[in-house]
Structure 1
Amino acid sequence: MTTIICRNLATGINGRIITGSVNLDITPGTMTALTGPSGCGKTTLLHTIGLLQTPAAGTLAVDGVDATAWNQRRRRRFWRDKAAFILQDYGIMDEETVGFNVSMQLNTLGLAVGGDRRRIRNALRSTGLDSRADEAASHLSGGEKQRLGIARAIYKNASVILADEPTASLDAGNRANIIRLLRERAAQGAAIVLATHDPVLVGASDRVYRIGAHSDE
């Protein structure tokens, strides 16, 4: 399991500070919502917590180790070993099958889906996509692609899941399903961080960090 600690963390783009003085404890078994109005910097903060962007100031520690200045190799190791991302652009290869998008591996001949087939089936079954394994991911709806992102996190057994607006534009049924899946991952020990303006998802989270308010609940 993984803990991420942010102290006086600042985020920025092209030298411009977006958020500052962020203090957060992201711990196993919890869902933390980063919320605020559009344009407040939710996604930038999420990307910084996930080491996709370098902090502008302050410190970010992963399991007690200062990761603020990690080089690309250390970051890639974190992404490979610990983290899974569910991003607004889905991060999904539309031309590949749903099954491939879970494991992101080909077999040794490069001709079929690689990885652990049983784990792929279980991940797809848990997200209601088991009948779609051999279809191209381009056939999936937006809500199904969000569930595919969660299936990938389940397959990977990621200890940190970072999701950007995972319930955006979903109907009530799909939103409830996404929230249930995320809560299940938290119950199994994952640390989940969400950038969201969805009040239902915020209400389902254990902790809420309101950007600009400099406080968490």
Structure 2
Amino acid sequence: MTTIICRDLAIGIGGRTIASGIDLNLVPGTMTALTGPSGCGKTTLLSTIGLLQDPIRGTLTIDGTDTTGWSQRLRRGFWRDKAAFILQDYGIMDEETVAFNVSMRLNAIGLAVGGDRRRIRNALGLTGLASRGGEIASHLSGGEKQRLGIARAIYRNASVILADEPTASLDAGNRANIIGLLRERAERGATVVLATHDPVLVEACDQAYPVGVRNI
């Protein structure tokens, strides 16, 4: 389980501040929605929380450790051991199979999907992709790729899940399923952080944080 705390955080793009004064407690067992209009900085804040980019100022601690100045080695350790990202550009390797995209591993001789096959099947089944494991990922629709990203997070049992508009490409039925899966991850102790416009998803969260409404 992982706790992330932001204090007086300022975020931006290309040196330009787009939101500041950000104070957030992101704790295990909860879902937090980052809300606001397009361009307000939701995705930038999500990326900063995930250590994909640096804040302009302020502090971001993970389990009590200040991450300011963390090396790439320490960041990679966080990404490998704790975090799962569900991004709008999917982060999917289109030329590989759906099953490979869940485990991101090959077997010992590099000729077949590696990892725990039972867990792979379970993750695909929970996200409605049970019959698609052997297909090339490029065959999936946008909504199916979103679900594949969630299957990867389930497989890894990530303690931090960071999702950018995870329900944006889904119909009502699949949206309800994905919200339920994210809620279940939180109930199992994950810290779930979502950038979203979806009012149904926001309602399912424990807290909503409007990004960019403070004076800079």
Instruction: Give the unaligned 5+ runs of structure 1.
Output: none
Q: Which residue of 2 aligns with 1:211?
A: 211
2:156 maps to 1:156 = yes
Q: Which residue of 1 aligns with 2:3?
A: 3
Q: Which residue of 2 aligns with 1:169?
A: 169
Alpha-carbon separation, structure 2, partners of 1:123 and 1:197: 26
Q: What is the deviation of 1:177?
A: 1.4
Q: Which residue of 1 aligns with 2:16?
A: 16
Q: Which residue of 1 aligns with 2:133?
A: 133
Q: What is the deviation of 1:95?
A: 1.1
Which deviations, in whole Å up to 9, do the C-alpha atoms of 1:116-146 show, x marking residues without a partner? 1121111112212121110111111222111
- Single out whichever of 199-208 and 83-92 deviates more from structure 2: 199-208
Alpha-carbon separation, structure 2, partners of 1:74 and 1:56: 19
Letter in 2 for 1:5: I
Q: What is the deviation of 1:171?
A: 1.7
Q: Which residue of 2 aligns with 1:89?
A: 89
Alpha-carbon separation, structure 2, partners of 1:204 and 1:121: 27
Alpha-carbon separation, structure 2, partners of 1:175 and 1:122: 19
Q: Which residue of 2 aligns with 1:105?
A: 105
Cα RMSD, aligned residues only = 1.0
Alpha-carbon separation, structure 1, partners of 2:145 and 2:101: 10
Q: State the percentage of identical aligned residues.
A: 78
Which deviations, in whole Å up to 9, do the C-alpha atoms of 1:145-173 show, x marking residues without a partner? 11111110011110000000111132211
Alpha-carbon separation, structure 1, partners of 2:115 and 2:173: 31
Q: Which residue of 2 aligns with 1:52?
A: 52
Letter in 2 for 1:70: W
Moved >2 Å (runs of 4+) = none
2:178 maps to 1:143 = no
- Single out whichever of 20-29 and 140-149 deviates more from structure 2: 140-149
How many residues get paired? Answer: 214
Instruction: Give the unaligned 5+ runs of structure 2.
Output: none
Alpha-carbon separation, structure 2, partners of 1:126 and 1:174: 11
2:190 maps to 1:186 = no
Alpha-carbon separation, structure 2, partners of 1:164 and 1:193: 9
**Is the contact between residue 11 and residue 18 of structure 2 (CA under 8 Å) also seen in structure 1?**
yes
SS at match of 1:118: helix
SS at match of 2:145: helix
Q: What is the deviation of 1:193?
A: 0.3
SS at match of 1:168: coil
TM-score, normalised relative to structure 2: 0.96
Alpha-carbon separation, structure 2, partners of 1:165 and 1:128: 19
Q: What is the deviation of 1:87?
A: 0.1
Alpha-carbon separation, structure 1, partners of 2:158 and 2:146: 16
**Is the contact between residue 18 and residue 212 of structure 2 (CA under 8 Å) also seen in structure 1?**
no
**Is the contact between residue 123 and residue 152 of structure 2 (CA under 8 Å) also seen in structure 1?**
yes
Alpha-carbon separation, structure 1, partners of 2:119 and 2:125: 10
